[in-house]
Amino acid sequence: MSEPVIFVPRDSGALSLGAESVALAIATEAQRRGKQVRIVRNGSRGVYWLEPMVEVATGGSRIAYGPVAAEDVSGLFDANWLDGGAHRLALGPTEELPYLKKQERLTFARVGITDPVSVDDYLSHGGYRGLQRALSLTSPAVVEEVVLSGLRGRGGAGFPAGIKWRTTQQTDASQKYIVCNADEGDSGTFSDRMIMEGDPFVLIEGMTVAAIAVGATQGYIYVRSEYPHAIRILSEAIRGAEQRGYLGSDVCGSGKAFKLDVRVGAGAYICGEETAMLESLEGKRGMVRFKPPLPAIAGLFGKPTVINNVITLSSVPTILEKGGAFYKNFGMGRSLGTLPIQLAGNVKYPGLIEKAFGVTLREIIYEYGGGTASGRPVRAVQIGGPLGAYFPEAMLDLPLDYEAIAAKGGLLGHGGIVVFDDTVDMLRQARYAMEFCALESCGKCTPCRIGSTRGVEVIDRIQASRGRSKSDSAALLRDLCDTMTAGSLCALGGLTPLPVMSALRHFPQDFGLPANAIS
């Protein structure tokens, strides 16, 4: 019998709760007791209230324990956990956890299961099948497979990925680039980080497929500096892929070259905007560019560039392996495939939930999330990061679908959901949205640069004034938001009005205004 394998996550979230000292305690305790064990540092399964969640694999199945503290380790050995002994932290087989069992994991199929930096592990769990198929097709056929799948940009804008690829593929140039947007700055989102830390090869494979499809030979992953673990794991995985011939001058013996490098941001939210990111990659201030020209035609260093989010690119291997038609079977309307939903804020069971589009907010927040962590009623939910709208509890039957949410004045964005209980002050949330915009504005467009600061002042005036002066200030805030929406180049200035106006529309009492003050 081979030695038991113990999985201790190296995901940032697990590490922030002490996974490192748990791994150390397990190694020390096993040695002290003369037990042979192999410790694998996997990604996170995304059940964060159970982190650090340790899994023991003996024979065929993996048994989960969590949340494990370093002090629990000795007791776990006493309970004979290597042979499935009973313990108060035992959760049963990981696959049977209802939170995981009900999901439809395509992009996250391997996250938390494999060793993120082992090429062999990736291969033995179905990795690189998408690339093999892509190499057997012509470039336009690869692009058409992605078009067929209906895959839309998961970064927030929801633009069809295949159309972008087609544009770059059809543009003649001496050099083309693939840029992965890993500047995941939205609060309440962490799926990019989980992929980069838990299954970096799926992203590398997706980028390689994109490169082959459009004829690019150089790729960059622009990672925010707040993600040091992701940067380390990605770099390690890229080295592994190079050594095995999956990256480099001759990808899998196809004669095609693709080189991949990691670039690190420096704490600027605006660099998640694709043109600001290109400026930053070129070593400049992250100022937003005018479009056109589209980056797909004239992007990085003026060359045709495909820019996609981490999740978009990581969805590509499944699409190539199983076909665009398979992927298209998931989802609803024009939102096809699956969405990795990130549930956070004041919620009992926060984590990563990958489901087909169309699942309702209520289902996610109550059936998965278990309601608020504080036990108080849910009052507001923000979807899609700091530029997403706030919705009241009464609107939670909304399905997660790009069009359905847009129709209600919100945006799905990167799929982050932040839950607030009834202690939230929505005037303060609206003020924060303006403050954040002022802080992160690149300064190019006046409505965003100055309007955001004026917005903070107007909201303060609404709070401080009464009667006529209050309603006048509210009207002024609406005008200001209209100007920002219409007069900003990018989503920062253009969408900051969403959280502000949705707070005002759905929660006028927090502003001291009568219901229906703003229609």
Partner 1 sequence: MPILRCIQDELGWVPRDCVPMLAEILNLSRAEVYGVVTFYHDFRHAPPGRNVIKVCRAESCQAAGGVALAEHIKRRLGIDFGETTHDHAFTLEAVYCLGNCACSPAAVIDDDLVGRVTPARFDEKIAHLNRPDR
Residues 11-40 that bind partner 1 (CB under 8 A): 12-13, 15-17
- The answer to whether residue 343 forms part of the interface with partner 1 (CB under 8 A) is yes
Residue 227's Cα: distance from chain center in Å? 13
Query: At what angle are helices 497-506 and 426-440 packed, to 10 degrees?
Result: 170
Ranges of H-type helices in 465-513:
467-487, 491-495, 497-506
- The answer to whether residue 190 forms part of the interface with partner 1 (CB under 8 A) is yes
Question: Could you tell me whether strands 259-264 and 218-223 are parallel, antiparallel, or unpaired per DSSP bridges?
Answer: parallel
Separation of alpha carbons 400 and 339, rounded Å:
9
Choose the stretch contacting partner 1; rule: CB under 8 A; options: 96-104, 321-329, 439-447, 488-496: 439-447
Nearest to 152, CA basis, from 281, 396, 321, 333: 333
Site string for partner 1, 80-119 (x = CB under 8 A): ----------------------------------------
Site string for partner 1, 314-333 (x = CB under 8 A): --------------------
- The answer to whether residue 431 forms part of the interface with partner 1 (CB under 8 A) is no
* 152/414 with CB nearer partner 1: 414
- The answer to whether residue 187 forms part of the interface with partner 1 (CB under 8 A) is yes
Evaluate the omega torsion of the peptide bond into residue 52 and state whether it is cis, within 30 degrees of 0: yes
* 29/421 with CB nearer partner 1: 421
* 48/122 with CB nearer partner 1: 48
* 214/503 with CB nearer partner 1: 503
**R_g of the chain, CA atoms, integer Å:** 24
Site string for partner 1, 269-298 (x = CB under 8 A): x----------x--xxxx------------
Six token digits for residue 217: 């030979």
Using CB under 8 A, which of 150, 162, 188, 304 touches partner 1? Answer: 188
Six token digits for residue 52: 């650090």
Largest CA distance in the chain: 80
* 295/386 with CB nearer partner 1: 386
Nearest to 482, CA basis, from 467, 463, 504, 464: 504
Separation of alpha carbons 161 and 285, rounded Å:
27
Using CB under 8 A, which of 107, 308, 346, 488 touches partner 1? Answer: 346
Using CB under 8 A, which of 121, 145, 186, 199 touches partner 1? Answer: 186
Q: How far is the CB of 225 from partner 1 (least distance, A)?
A: 6
Helix (H, G, I), strand (E, B) or coil at 46: coil
Q: How far is the CB of 31 from partner 1 (least distance, A)?
A: 25
Q: How far is the CB of 350 from partner 1 (least distance, A)?
A: 4
Using CB under 8 A, which of 41, 193, 303, 355 touches partner 1? Answer: 193
* 13/299 with CB nearer partner 1: 13
Site string for partner 1, 350-389 (x = CB under 8 A): xxx--------------------x--------x---x---
Residue 139's Cα: distance from chain center in Å? 28
Phi, psi of 476 (to 5 degrees): -65, -40
Cα atoms in the Cβ-side hemisphere of radius 13 Å centred on 341: 30
Nearest to 208, CA basis, from 248, 169, 239, 237: 248
Which 8-state DSSP code applies to residue 95?
A: G
- The answer to whether residue 416 forms part of the interface with partner 1 (CB under 8 A) is yes
Kindly list the distances between the CA atom of residue 233 and the CA atoms of 131, 216, 435, in Å, as whole numbers in the listed order. 21, 24, 34
Number of residues that bind partner 1 (CB under 8 A): 59
Residues 39-78 that bind partner 1 (CB under 8 A): 46, 48-49, 51
* 428/454 with CB nearer partner 1: 428
Phi, psi of 454 (to 5 degrees): -60, -35
The secondary element (H helix, E strand) that includes residue 418 is strand 416-421
Choose the stretch contacting partner 1; rule: CB under 8 A; options: 85-93, 225-233, 458-466, 504-512: 225-233
Choose the stretch contacting partner 1; rule: CB under 8 A; options: 125-133, 251-259, 394-402, 416-424: 416-424
Residues 242-261 that bind partner 1 (CB under 8 A): none
Separation of alpha carbons 294 and 168, rounded Å:
10
Question: Could you tell me whether strands 338-345 and 416-421 are parallel, antiparallel, or unpaired per DSSP bridges?
Answer: parallel
Which 8-state DSSP code applies to residue 63?
A: E
Residues of this chain that interact with partner 1 (CB under 8 A) are 12-13, 15-17, 46, 48-49, 51, 184-190, 192-193, 224-229, 263-269, 280, 283-286, 342-346, 350-352, 373, 382, 386, 416, 418-421, 424, 429, 432, 436, 439-440, 442
